Structure 1
Amino acid sequence: MNILISGGSGFLGRAFSKALIKRYQKDNKEVQVTWLTRDSKQAHPDDIKMMTYDELAKTDKNYDVILNLAGAGIADKRWSDARKEQLLASRVKPTEALLEFIARSSTKPKLLVSGSAIGWYGAQGARPLTESSDFNTDFSHKLCDDWEQLALKVTNYGVPVAIVRTGVVIHPDGGMVGKLLTPFKMGVGGQLADGKQVMSWISRADWVRAVMFIIEQLLAGQASQQAQLNSVDTVLKVDNDLKTANDTPAYVYNLTAPNPVTNQTFTKTLGVWLHRPTFFTLPAFLLKLMFGEMSTLLIDGQKVLPQALLNAGFEFRQPTLKQALEQQS
Structure 2
Amino acid sequence: MRVLITGGSGFVGRRLCERLAKADHSLLVVSRDPTRARRVLPAGTDVETSVLAFTDRAPEAIVNLAGESIADRRWSDEQKRRLIDSRVNITRDLVMLCQHLESPPAVMVSGSAMGYYGDQGEREVAEDTPPHDEFAHRLCESWEQAAREAEEYGVRVALIRIGLVLEQGGGTLAKMLPPFKLGLGGRFGSGRQFMPWVHREDLVRIIEFLLERDDLRGPFNGSAPHPVTNAEFSQALARHLRRPAMLPVPAFVLKAGFGEMSRLLLTGADMRPARLQAAGFEFRYPTLDEALAAILRQ
| TM-score, normalised via structure 1 length | 0.86
Match of 1:292 in 2: 259
Distance in 2 separating the partners of 1:201 and 1:46: 27
Q: Any residues of structure 2 matched to 1:41-80 within 5 Å, and which?
A: 41-44=35-38, 45-54=41-50, 56-57=52-53, 59-80=55-76
Distance in 1 separating the partners of 2:15 and 2:161: 17
Q: For the structure 1 residues 125 and 168, does the alpha-carbon distance in structure 2 shift closer, same or farther, using more than 3 Å as the test? A: same
Give the paired residue count. Answer: 294
Cα distance, 1:311 vs. partner? Answer: 0.2
Give 2:157's match in structure 1, choosing from 135, 157, 161: 161
- Three-state SS of the structure 2 residue aligned to 1:164 is strand
Comparing 169-178 with 141-150, which one deviates more in the overlay? 169-178
- Three-state SS of the structure 2 residue aligned to 1:42 is helix
**Does structure 1 residue 40 correspond to structure 2 residue 60?**
no
CA contact (8 A) 2:227 2:271 kept: yes
Match of 2:206 in 1: 210
- Counting aligned pairs with the same residue, the percent is 43
Cα distance, 1:58 vs. partner? Answer: 6.5
Q: For the structure 1 residues 175 and 46, does the alpha-carbon distance in structure 2 shift closer, same or farther, using more than 3 Å as the test? A: closer
CA contact (8 A) 2:118 2:268 kept: no
Match of 1:325 in 2: 292
- Three-state SS of the structure 1 residue aligned to 2:176 is helix
Q: For the structure 1 residues 67 and 48, does the alpha-carbon distance in structure 2 shift closer, same or farther, using more than 3 Å as the test? A: farther
Q: For the structure 1 residues 48 and 195, does the alpha-carbon distance in structure 2 shift closer, same or farther, using more than 3 Å as the test? A: farther
> What's the RMSD between the two structures over aligned residues?
1.5
Q: Unmatched 5+ residue regions in structure 2? A: none
Give 1:269's match in structure 2, choosing from 213, 233, 236: 236
Can you list the C-alpha shifts for 1:286-322, whole angstroms capped at 9, x where unaligned?
1111111011111112111100011011111101111
The amino acid across from 1:73 in the alignment is S
Cα distance, 1:60 vs. partner? Answer: 1.4
The amino acid across from 2:2 in the alignment is N
Distance in 1 separating the partners of 2:204 and 2:166: 12
Structure 1 stretches of 4+ with a deviation exceeding 4 A read none
Q: Any residues of structure 2 matched to 1:1-329 within 5 Å, and which?
A: 1-22=1-22, 24=23, 30-44=24-38, 45-54=41-50, 56-57=52-53, 59-218=55-214, 232=215, 250-328=217-295
Q: For the structure 1 residues 260 and 54, does the alpha-carbon distance in structure 2 shift closer, same or farther, using more than 3 Å as the test? A: closer
Cα distance, 1:214 vs. partner? Answer: 1.3
Distance in 2 separating the partners of 1:125 and 1:290: 23
Distance in 2 separating the partners of 1:216 and 1:181: 35
